[in-house]
C-alpha cells in the first residue's frame, strides 16, 4: 500500500487556490430570487463563467442564467449572445444547451417548436400536474398540503389545509401525486397520513372526498376523458385500479408482472390503459403496452430494443407520444393508435429531448419538470466522545464546483476518491494534490468502497457493452471488471467477499451474496416491496450486524433499523415522521459500534444525527446544510466524515408547438 501511495502522490497534480466559485454563483442566485440588484447578479454570473471555464456544469449554467436575466431586463441582443455562447461553448452540457438553443430566434430550430421556462424556485415538484388550460400547476407545498401555482400571476394557493408541518392540523400527513380532471375543476391526489388515501377535491378547495383507502403505497395516475373514473396504482397489488368518482367502486385491471408500477394512462375512448413495461433480459429497457379494461387483452404498441417511456396522447387522441433513445439519444416520438393497436410506424417529433412530463394542455403544449442539481463533496469533523461538530464542513476541492458526488476513503484514510466530470478524482488529504482516473469504456454511477488491496475501488455503473451492475475499477489502468450484475449500492464484508443489498426480482428482499460461492441468501423481506427498496445498508465493523432504512414503516414514518447479519427481525432505533426522510446511503456505523450516524432531510435542509445502539435518544451533531446530505463516509480515525451535499433547483418548462391544438385535451400524469 505504501508503494502505491508513493506512486499516486507523485502522479497527482497540484490544485490552485481559486476563489470560491460556487459561493459567487450562490450570491448571484440569491439576488435573483430576491429580485434585488439584477445587474450585479449578471456581473457575478459572468465572473463564474470566466473563473469556471474548466468546470462546464457550473459555467454553462451561469452563462444560461445570465441570458435569462438579460431577457428579463429587456436586453434581447445581450440575451441572445449569452444563449448562443451556451450552445457554442458548452455542447457537452446537453440539458442546458438544449434550453439555450430553444431561446434562440425562430429559424434556428428545426420547426416552430419552442421551449420556455414557466416556473422556478423551491416549490416545483415532479409529482404535480398542469391544468388543461395551462394556467395552473399542482404541487406539494412546504407544509405538506396540496397547492396550485398560477403561472400568469406567479401566486401559490393552498388547496388543502392539514399538512404535517401546519400547527394543530389533525391528522398530520402529506399530499402528493396530484392530477387535474379533464375540465380542470377538480384534482385527484394521494394523502399519506393515518393510512393512505386517494382523494378528490375541487381546485378551489371545496368538496373533498376519499375514494379509496389502503395501508400501502399509492399513486394517482389519470382521469378518464369523461371525468367519471380515476386510474390509481396500489403498489401492494399487481394491477391498475379503475375507481368510480361517483361511488368509489373499484375495478382491478390485471397487467404484466413487468409493469413499471408508477405508469398508466387511460386511452382517449376510455376502453384501454396504456403503460410502460420492462423488457425481458438481464439489462432491460422499457416497452409500452395497452390493456383492454373490458377483456384484459394486453398487446405491445411500442416494442423496440431501445428504452421507450410514454409521455401523453396528442390532443386529438390519435397518437401516443413517448420518449425513446432509438436514434442514439432521447427524443420525443409519436405513433398512431387505432382500437388499441399501433396503426403505423413511429415518427420523431423532437430530437435531443429527455423529459419528465407533468401533463399536456389543450393548446398542444407539454409541460415537464427539470431538476438542476448542484453537488459537491465536503469533509467535517465530529468529536467521537461528545458527538458534536468540531469543525464545519469544508469543500474537499475547488475543482469541478457543483459537479462532484459519491465518494470513498482509502483503507488507511490518506486519500478520498470522488466522482467528477473526468470520471474519478483522487484527492490527497495530506497535500491536497489530485489525480484524475478516467474509466476505460465505462460510466460510473456511484462510488461504493475502496477495495482492501488499496489498488481498486468498487463502483456501480454501466459498461460500454451495456451491462449494468457492480464493478471493480483499477485505479492505475482505469479498467473495470464486473463483479455482479444488476447490483446498485451494496454493503461489503471486511474482506469484500460478501455483499448485502436489496435484490430486484420476485423475492424483493435484503440478501447476502457470497461472491466466492455465488450463493444468495434472503435475510429480510416486507409485504410492500417499496418499503425496503434501496435500504442504504451498512455492515458493522465486526461484521455481525446490519443497519438499514425502511420507507413508510410504520405507516407514515421512515425508520432506521438494525438486524443480525445472518437475518432475523429488525430492531427499530429511530422513526421519523414523513415527509422527513433519510439521506441516500447515509446510515453508517461508528468504529466503536455504539452509534450510527445518519442524515435527515426536511424542508430542503439536512442534518446529521448520532443514534445510540442502546436505544437512547438521538443526538443532533450540529452538522447541517441546505439541500441533501448523502453518501456519508467515516474516516478510519472515527472523527472526519465525508459526504456529498446536493442543492436542488427545480424548474417547470413548457414544450410548445409540438402538437396541434385541439378543443379537448388528454391529460398525462407525468
- Contacts with 30 (C-beta within 8 Å, 6 or more apart), sequence order: none
- Residue showing cell 440588484: 37
Torsion angles phi and psi, residue 60, rounded to 5: -65, -40
305: nearest Cα among 285, 278, 289: 285
State the maximum Cα–Cα separation within the chain, in Å, rounded to a whole number: 74
Instruction: Give me the pLDDT at residue 617, please.
Output: 95
β-pairing, 347-350 vs 229-234, is unpaired
Confidence of residue 634 (pLDDT cuts 50, 70, 90): very high
Give the span between the Cα atoms of 657 and 481, in whole angstroms.
47
552: nearest Cα among 235, 237, 168: 235
Higher confidence at residue 353 or residue 511? 511
What cell numbers appear for 81 in the block?
A: 449572445
Instruction: Give me the pLDDT at residue 601, please.
Output: 93
Give Cα separations from 503 to 7, 544, 545 (angstroms).
Answer: 38, 20, 19
Cis peptide before 621 (omega within 30 of 0): no
- pLDDT more than 90, % of the chain: 53
Give the span between the Cα atoms of 335 and 347, in whole angstroms.
6
Instruction: Give me the pLDDT at residue 59, please.
Output: 85
234: nearest Cα among 20, 522, 18, 529: 529
Give Cα separations from 148 to 156, 192, 528, 603 (angstroms).
Answer: 6, 18, 31, 18
Give Cα separations from 360 to 134, 135, 178, 256, 516 (angstroms).
Answer: 8, 11, 14, 27, 52
Give the span between the Cα atoms of 424 and 405, in whole angstroms.
10
Higher confidence at residue 555 or residue 562? 562
The side-by-side arrangement of strands in the sheet containing 538-539 is 538-539, 545-550, 557-564, 571-577
635: nearest Cα among 590, 593, 600, 595: 590
How many CB atoms neighbour CB 43 within 10 A? 13
Instruction: Give me the pLDDT at residue 661, please.
Output: 55
With residue 191 as reference, give the H or E element that holds it: strand 186-193
The answer to whether 376 and 406 are in contact (CB under 8 A) is no
Q: Could you tell me the sign of the dihedral formed by the alpha carbons of 608, 610, 613, 618, in that order?
A: negative
The answer to whether 303 and 326 are in contact (CB under 8 A) is no
With residue 8 as reference, give the H or E element that holds it: helix 2-11
Question: What HEC string does 49-102 produce?
Answer: HHHCCCCHHHHHHHHHHHHHHHHHCCCHHHHHHHHHHHHHHCCCCHHHHHHHHH
SS3 289: strand
Higher confidence at residue 130 or residue 282? 130
Specify whether the backbone of 604 is left (phi greater than 0), alpha (psi in -120 to 50) or beta.
left
SS3 9: helix
The answer to whether 571 and 563 are in contact (CB under 8 A) is yes
Q: What is the mean pLDDT of residues 632-649?
A: 93
Q: pLDDT digit string (tens) for 477-490?
A: 999 999 988 787 89
With residue 23 as reference, give the H or E element that holds it: helix 21-33
Q: For residue 340, give the DSSP letter.
A: T
What's the burial of 426, exposed, middle or buried (CB within 10 Å: 0-12/13-18/19+)?
buried
- Contacts with 119 (C-beta within 8 Å, 6 or more apart), sequence order: 137, 149, 151, 651, 652
- Residue showing cell 361517483: 246
Helix locations, 451-548, DSSP H? none
The answer to whether 494 and 543 are in contact (CB under 8 A) is yes
Confidence of residue 291 (pLDDT cuts 50, 70, 90): very high
- pLDDT reading at 546 higher than 60: yes
Give the span between the Cα atoms of 611 and 553, in whole angstroms.
18
SS3 615: coil
The side-by-side arrangement of strands in the sheet containing 498-503 is 491-492, 498-503, 509-514, 520-525
Q: What is the mean pLDDT of residues 532-542?
A: 85
| Chain center to CA of 247 | 36
Instruction: Give me the pLDDT at residue 328, please.
Output: 75
Instruction: Give me the pLDDT at residue 659, please.
Output: 67
Torsion angles phi and psi, residue 99, rounded to 5: -65, -40
What cell numbers appear for 13 in the block?
A: 497534480
Instruction: Give me the pLDDT at residue 282, please.
Output: 53
SS3 511: strand
Q: For residue 327, give the DSSP letter.
A: T
What cell numbers appear for 540 in the block?
A: 458493522
Q: What is the mean pLDDT of residues 434-453?
A: 90
Q: pLDDT digit string (tens) for 225-280?
A: 999 999 998 876 667 999 999 999 999 998 887 787 678 999 999 999 999 998 87
| Chain center to CA of 308 | 19
Q: What is the mean pLDDT of residues 642-654?
A: 89
Give the span between the Cα atoms of 323 and 300, in whole angstroms.
16
Confidence of residue 504 (pLDDT cuts 50, 70, 90): low
| Chain center to CA of 270 | 31
> What residues pair up with 234 in beta bridges, in sequence order?
218
- pLDDT more than 70, % of the chain: 89
Q: For residue 105, give the DSSP letter.
A: P
The rounded mean pLDDT for the chain is: 85
Instruction: Give me the pLDDT at residue 50, please.
Output: 75
With residue 337 as reference, give the H or E element that holds it: strand 331-338
Question: What HEC string does 375-428 produce?
Answer: EEEEEEEECCCCCCEEEEEEECCCCCCCECEEEEECCCCCEEEEEECCEEEEEE
| Chain center to CA of 71 | 30
- pLDDT reading at 665 higher than 50: no
Q: What is the mean pLDDT of residues 50-67?
A: 81
How many CB atoms neighbour CB 173 within 10 A? 25
Confidence of residue 216 (pLDDT cuts 50, 70, 90): low
Amino acid at each position: 500500500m505504501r508503494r502505491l501511495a508513493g506512486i499516486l502522490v507523485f502522479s497527482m497534480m497540484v490544485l490552485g487556490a481559486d476563489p470560491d466559485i460556487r459561493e459567487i454563483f450562490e450570491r448571484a442566485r440569491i439576488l435573483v430570487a430576491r429580485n434585488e440588484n439584477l445587474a450585479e447578479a449578471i456581473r457575478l454570473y459572468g465572473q463564474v463563467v470566466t473563473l469556471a471555464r474548466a468546470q462546464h456544469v457550473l459555467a454553462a449554467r451561469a452563462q444560461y442564467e445570465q441570458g435569462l436575466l438579460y431577457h428579463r431586463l429587456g436586453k434581447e441582443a445581450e440575451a441572445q449572445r449569452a444563449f448562443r455562447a451556451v450552445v457554442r461553448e458548452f455542447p457537452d452540457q446537453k440539458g442546458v444547451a438544449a434550453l439555450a438553443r430553444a431561446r434562440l430566434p425562430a429559424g434556428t430550430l428545426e420547426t416552430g417548436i419552442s421551449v420556455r421556462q414557466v416556473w422556478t424556485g423551491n416549490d416545483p415538484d415532479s409529482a404535480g400536474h398542469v391544468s388543461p388550460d395551462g394556467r395552473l400547476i399542482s404541487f406539494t407545498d412546504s407544509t405538506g398540503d396540496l397547492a396550485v401555482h398560477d403561472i400568469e400571476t406567479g401566486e401559490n394557493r393552498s388547496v388543502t389545509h392539514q399538512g404535517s408541518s401546519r400547527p394543530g392540523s389533525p391528522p398530520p400527513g402529506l399530499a402528493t401525486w396530484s392530477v387535474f380532471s379533464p375540465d380542470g375543476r377538480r384534482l385527484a391526489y394521494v394523502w399519506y397520513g393515518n393510512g393512505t388515501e386517494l382523494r378528490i377535491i375541487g381546485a378551489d378547495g371545496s368538496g373533498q372526498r376519499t375514494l379509496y383507502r389502503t395501508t400501502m403505497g399509492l399513486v394517482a395516475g389519470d382521469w378518464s376523458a369523461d371525468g367519471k373514473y380515476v386510474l390509481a396504482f396500489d403498489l401492494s397489488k399487481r394491477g391498475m385500479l379503475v375507481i368510480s368518482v361517483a361511488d368509489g367502486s373499484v375495478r382491478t385491471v390485471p397487467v404484466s408482472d413487468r409493469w413499471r408500477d408508477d405508469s398508466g394512462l387511460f386511452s382517449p375512448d376510455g376502453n384501454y390503459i396504456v403503460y410502460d413495461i420492462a423488457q425481458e433480459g438481464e439489462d432491460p429497457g422499457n416497452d409500452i403496452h395497452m390493456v383492454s379494461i373490458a377483456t384484459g387483452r394486453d398487446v405491445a404498441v411500442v416494442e423496440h430494443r431501445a428504452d421507450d417511456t410514454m409521455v401523453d396522447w396528442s390532443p386529438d387522441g390519435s397518437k401516443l407520444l413517448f420518449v425513446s433513445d432509438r436514434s442514439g439519444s432521447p427524443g420525443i416520438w409519436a405513433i398512431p393508435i387505432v382500437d388499441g393497436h399501433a396503426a403505423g410506424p413511429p415518427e420523431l417529433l423532437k430530437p435531443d429531448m429527455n423529459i419528465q412530463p407533468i401533463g399536456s394542455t389543450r393548446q398542444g403544449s407539454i409541460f415537464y419538470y427539470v431538476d438542476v442539481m448542484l453537488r459537491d463533496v465536503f469533509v467535517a469533523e465530529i468529536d467521537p466522545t461528545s458527538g458534536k461538530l468540531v469543525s464545519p464542513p469544508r469543500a474537499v476541492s475547488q475543482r469541478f464546483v457543483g459537479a462532484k458526488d459519491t465518494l470513498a476513503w482509502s483503507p488507511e484514510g490518506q486519500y478520498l476518491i470522488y466522482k467528477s466530470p473526468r470520471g474519478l478524482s483522487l484527492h490527497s488529504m495530506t497535500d491536497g494534490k489530485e489525480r484524475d482516473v478516467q474509466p476505460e469504456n465505462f460510466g460510473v454511477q456511484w462510488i461504493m468502497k475502496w477495495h482492501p488491496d488499496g489498488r481498486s475501488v468498487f463502483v456501480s455503473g454501466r459498461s460500454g457493452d451495456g451491462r449494468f451492475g457492480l464493478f471493480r475499477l483499477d485505479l492505475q489502468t482505469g479498467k473495470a471488471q464486473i463483479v455482479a450484475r444488476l447490483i446498485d449500492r451494496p454493503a461489503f464484508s471486511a474482506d469484500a467477499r460478501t455483499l448485502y443489498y436489496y435484490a430486484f426480482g420476485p423475492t424483493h428482499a435484503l440478501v447476502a451474496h457470497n461472491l466466492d460461492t455465488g450463493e444468495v441468501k434472503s435475510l429480510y423481506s416486507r409485504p410492500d416491496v417499496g418499503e425496503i427498496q434501496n435500504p442504504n445498508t451498512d455492515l458493522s465493523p465486526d461484521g455481525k450486524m446490519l443497519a438499514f432504512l425502511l420507507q413508510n414503516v410504520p405507516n407514515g414514518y421512515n425508520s432506521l433499523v438494525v438486524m443480525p447479519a445472518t437475518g432475523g427481525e429488525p430492531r427499530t432505533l429511530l422513526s421519523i415522521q414523513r415527509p422527513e426522510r433519510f439521506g441516500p446511503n447515509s446510515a453508517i456505523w461508528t468504529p466503536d459500534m455504539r452509534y450510527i450516524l445518519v442524515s435527515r432531510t426536511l424542508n430542503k435542509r439536512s442534518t446529521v444525527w448520532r443514534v445510540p445502539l442502546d436505544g437512547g435518544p438521538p443526538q443532533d451533531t450540529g452538522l447541517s446544510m441546505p439541500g441533501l446530505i448523502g453518501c456519508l463516509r467515516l474516516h478510519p480515525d472515527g472523527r472526519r466524515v465525508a459526504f456529498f451535499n446536493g442543492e436542488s433547483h427545480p424548474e417547470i418548462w413548457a414544450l410548445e408547438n409540438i402538437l396541434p391544438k385541439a378543443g379537448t385535451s388528454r391529460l398525462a400524469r407525468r
